[in-house]
Amino acid sequence: MSKPSTARFSDRVENYVRYRPGYPPQVLGVLREQCGLQPGHVVADVASGTGIFTRMLLENGNPVFSVEPNAEMREMGTHLLEDFSRVVWVAGTAEETTLGAASVDFVTAAQAAHWFDLRRARAEFCRILRPQGWCVLIWNERLTEGTPFLHEYERMLLAYGTDYKEVRHERTTAMIHEFFAPARCKQHVFSLRQSFVYEGAVGRLLSSSYVPLAGEPGYAPMMQELRRLFHAHAKHGEVEFEYKTRVYYARLD
C-alpha cells in the first residue's frame, strides 16, 4: 500500500536535498517578463518541500509563505533557509493552506501539483490570491529517451519501482488544462541536466518516492542493476540525467 502523498518523502529528505535538481534561472525570467513578478510581490510556494524553488523566490527579493504539509521536509527547509528573513513556513496543504483570503500575489507549485486534489486546490488558490493574481505550476520532467542510459534507467524504474507506473507524469498536460480551465494557461520549456558520479546516481535514485529503500523487497536487485547501468554508460566517471523544465502560468480569476 502506497503512502499518502503528504508523507511520501519523509524517509528520503537527505537524498532529496542533495540530489534533486533545481530549476533554471530562466523560470524567474518568465515570471518577470510575462507575469510582471517584482520583488515586492508576496508568493505562496505551495508544497514547497525543502524549499528548492522557495530559495529562488527569496533570492529574487520576494516575501514567501512556504506551505509544506510534511514535517520532515518542512524542518529541513527551515534549516536550509534560516538565513532568509522573508520566509514564513506554514504547515498547510494545497487544499487548505491556512493563509488569509486575498493575501498573496502569486501561487507557485514546483514538482508537486500532480499530488493535489485539483478541484479543491484551485478553489483554495483563488481564495488566497489577490485580484489579477497569478498561478504558476512547474515540473522538471526527467527524459526517458535520448541516450542509452536514460532509456535503460527508465526500464529499471518500471521493473523495480513500487508504484512508478501510477505516479509517472504522463497525464501532466491534460491535468494542467483541467486545473486552469476556464482560464487558458501559457507554457515555457527549458532544458536542464545533472551529472553524477556513482554515489550521486545512487542518491538521485533513492530520492524518488516510488523506489524501494534498503531492506525492502526489490532494493538489492535494483541497486545491482543501477551499478551495471552506471559502469556501462558512464563517461569520464559520470552519467547524465536530462530534463525538460515546464512552466505553466495563468491568472485564476
Confidence of residue 166 (pLDDT cuts 50, 70, 90): low
- What per-residue confidence (pLDDT) applies to 68? 96
User: 223 pLDDT exceeds 70?
Assistant: yes
Q: Give the residue from 55, 64, 68, 69 showing the smallest Cα distance to 23.
A: 55
Bridge-based pairing state of the strands 239-251 and 186-196: antiparallel
| pLDDT over 70 (residue 52) | yes
pLDDT, tens digit, 9 for 90 and up, residues 96-137: 999 999 999 999 999 988 889 999 999 999 999 999 999 999
Give the pLDDT confidence score for residue 12 in this predicted structure.
Answer: 61
169-217 residue pLDDT tens: 555 777 898 899 999 999 999 999 999 999 999 999 998 888 998 899 9
By mean pLDDT, which of 6-10, 39-43, 203-207, 212-216 is the weakest? 6-10
Q: Using pLDDT thresholds of 50, 70 and 90, give the confidence band for residue 11.
A: low
CA angle (50 as vertex; 45, 51 as ends), nearest 5: 40
Residue-wise burial string across 100-111, b where 16 or more C-beta atoms lie within 10 A, e elsewhere: eeeebbbbbbbb
Instruction: Return the residue matching grid coordinates 500500500.
Output: 1
> How many helices and strands (H and E) does the chain possess?
10, 7
pLDDT at 168 over 70: no
Structure confidence at residue 10 (pLDDT) = 45
Other CB atoms within a 10 A radius of the CB of residue 139 amount to: 21
- Note the Cα 25 to chain centre separation in Å: 15
Residue 2 has pLDDT above 50, yes or no: no
Domains of the chain: 5-143+169-193+242-251 (3.40.50.150)
What nine digits make up the cell of 98?
491556512
> What pLDDT is attached to residue 4?
46
pLDDT of residue 177: 86
